[in-house]
Amino acid sequence: MREAPQDPEHSDRSNHSDKVDTIAAVATPPGVGGIAIVRISGPDALQVARRVFSSPDKFTAPVQELPSHTVHYGHVVHPKEGSRADEVLLLLMKAPRSFTGEDVVELHCHGGPVPVGSVLRAVLAAGSRLAEAGEFTRRAFLNGRLDLTQAEAVADVIAARSRAGAQLALRQLEGQLGDRIRHLRSALLDLMAHLEVVLDYPELDIEETDVQDACTQLHCMQDKISGLLETAAAGRPFREGVRTVILGRPNVGKSSLLNALLQRERAIVTELPGTTRDVLEETVVVRGIPLVLTDTAGVRQGSDRAEQLGVLRAREAARGAELICVVFDDSEDLTEDDCRVIEELNSLDEPRIIAVVNKIDLLIGALRDCKLRERVGQEVPVARISARTREGLEELEAMIFEAVVGEGGPAADAEGVVVSSARHEEALRRAQEAIVDALSGLKSQMPVDLVSIDLRECLEALGAITGEAAGEDLLDRIFSKFCVGK
C-alpha cells in the first residue's frame, strides 16, 4: 500500500545550507549615535567573542562559560594587532534562545564610525565573516524561529513608512497569517489523505458522499482564501504606498497642491504658466497611507522645448500612477487645455481619479461641478479646495483615503488577519485557482489522481507563503531586501 501523502515540501529547513559558519555585522544604522551594536551569530560566536573580549575583572570567566542572557563590561581588542578597538558591553544569548536560534553575542560599543569599524574588524579577524543582507533573519527562519511571513514582517516593520504600515507588519510578525495558512494546509493534507485512499484501492469505487464531503471542504477553504484575498487589496497601500500623480494644465495650482499636502514649500510656485518643467517626487503620509506624490509640468501644447519634455514626463508619470489628482482652476471655465488633459486621462489604464477644483478662495465659482462631471465622468469624486488657504484639504485627504482603501479603512478578516504583501497575495491567488480546478475536476468525475495534482499545487502555493515550500531562489529574493545586520 502507498504511504499516506506526506507534505512533500515539509523538510527540515536547516537542510537549506550545508555548512553553517559564523557571521557578524553592524546591527545599528550608520552614522553617529549613543551606541552601536555589532552582532555575531553562529556556532563559533562565543569563541569569536572570547578572542576579542577582555574584561578588567580578572574573575570574569571566559565568554563560553558566562551564563546566557547576561551583560558584561570590558574592551574589544584586535586579536592580531593587539590594539584596543573600543570599550563595550557584551551581551550573550546562547542557542536556541536567541533571535537566530544560534549562539549570539552582541557587542555594544560607542556609536561612531571609527569605534564601530574597529570592533567589526576585530570580530572579523577573530574568525567570523561579514553577514550578507538579511542573513540573521534568514538564519532565524532556517532554524524555525520565524516563519517566512514573520521574517518578511521584520523587513516591513523596519521599512514601514507610516505608523499604520508598521502596525500591519507587526500583526504579521505575531504570526497570525502564518497560523492561518498552516491551518489551511493541514486541512488540505487531511483531505488529500482521504482521497488518496481511493487510489490505493481502485476496486473500492469512490462514494458519492466522499466527493460531496471533499467538495464541501474545498468550498470552505475557498471561502477562507477569498476572505484573505479581500483584505489584501485594502492592506497593501499602507505598506507599499500609492503612486499618486498631480496632473493638470499650467497654472491651476498643481505645485501649490503638492506644497499644501506636504505642508512645506517644496515646489516652486509662480503666477507664470509653465513654472514646473520636470517631475518632482515627494512622499507624504495621508491618513496612514504613504503617498509617493509627483508634481508634473502643466500639460499644454505649443511651448518651448524644455516645457515639451516636461509634458512628456508628466504623461509618463501619469501612465505609472495608481491615483491621479487632476487639478482645475475655479476662476475659469474649462479651457481647451483642460479638455485635453481629460482626454489623456481617458486613454489611461483605469487609475483611480480625483478631480480637484482649486482656488475656491477667489470665490469666482466659474467651474460648476456638474459641468466637470459631465467631462470627467459621473463617478469621479470632485474636491473643491484652496491650496492657498487650505480650505477643503481635509475633505480631499478623506477622498484620497477612500479612493485608495475604500470606506472604513483596511478590512481585516473575521480574526483580524490582513494580507498586505503582493507576494502573499499572488500565492493565495494561485492556491485559489488550484482549488477551483480541483472542484471542477471532482464535479466532472475526473480521476482522483488528476484532482490531487491540483490539490498539490494548492498545497505548494500555500507553503510558499510560510516558507514550508520555499526554494532557495525565493529565499534569496526575500532576504536580499533586508539591510546588512538584520
Ligand X SMILES: Nc1nc2c(ncn2[C@@H]2O[C@H](COP(=O)(O)OP(=O)(O)OP(=O)(O)O)[C@@H](O)[C@H]2O)c(=O)[nH]1
Q: What residues make contact with Mg ion under the rule CB under 5 A?
A: 254-255, 275-276
Span near ligand X by CB under 6 A; candidates 246-254, 344-352, 443-451, 461-469: 246-254
209 is written with which cell numbers? 458522499
Span near ligand X by CB under 6 A; candidates 140-148, 184-192, 204-212, 244-252: 244-252
66 binds, among Mg ion, ligand X, none (CB under 5 to 8 A by kind): none
SS3 labels along 145-176: CCCHHHHHHHHHHHHCCCHHHHHHHHHHHCCH
Contact indicator for 116, 109 with CB cutoff of 8 Å: yes
38 binds, among ligand X, Mg ion, none (CB under 5 to 8 A by kind): none
90 binds, among Mg ion, ligand X, none (CB under 5 to 8 A by kind): none
Compute the least distance from the CB of residue 316 to ligand X, in Å. Answer: 16
Compute the least distance from the CB of residue 281 to Mg ion, in Å. Answer: 14
Q: How far is it, in rounded angstroms, from Cα 376 to Cα 334? A: 11
Contact indicator for 90, 105 with CB cutoff of 8 Å: yes
Write the DSSP symbol of residue 362.
Answer: G
Residues 300-359 that bind ligand X (CB under 6 A): 358-359
Name the residue among 335, 326, 388, 333 with its Cα closest to residue 365.
333
Site for ligand X contains 384 (CB under 6 A): no
- Paired with 352 in beta bridges are 323
DSSP string, 164-217: HHHHHHHHHHTTHHHHHHHHHHHHHHHHHHHHHHHHH-TTSPPPHHHHHHHHHH
Query: Which residue, 41 or 276, is less far from Mg ion as judged by CB?
Result: 276
Compute the least distance from the CB of residue 242 to ligand X, in Å. Answer: 21
Compute the least distance from the CB of residue 260 to ligand X, in Å. Answer: 8
Beta strands in 224-322 (DSSP E): 242-247, 280-286, 289-295
- In the shown chain, the binding pattern of residues 266 to 295 toward ligand X, with x for contact by CB under 6 A and - for none, equals ---xxx-xxxx-------------------
Amino acid at 29: P
Site for ligand X contains 387 (CB under 6 A): yes
Query: Which residue, 387 or 405, is less far from ligand X as judged by CB?
Result: 387
Residue 307's CB is within 10 A of a number of other CB atoms, namely: 19
- In the shown chain, the binding pattern of residues 361 to 380 toward ligand X, with x for contact by CB under 6 A and - for none, equals xx------------------
227 binds, among Mg ion, ligand X, none (CB under 5 to 8 A by kind): none
Q: Is 357 left (phi over 0), alpha (psi -120 to 50) or beta?
A: beta
Q: How far is it, in rounded angstroms, from Cα 128 to Cα 216? A: 55
359 binds, among Mg ion, ligand X, none (CB under 5 to 8 A by kind): ligand X
271 binds, among Mg ion, ligand X, none (CB under 5 to 8 A by kind): ligand X
Overall residue count recorded for the chain in this entry: 486
Residues near ligand X (CB under 6 A): 248, 250-256, 269-271, 273-276, 297-298, 358-359, 361-362, 386-388
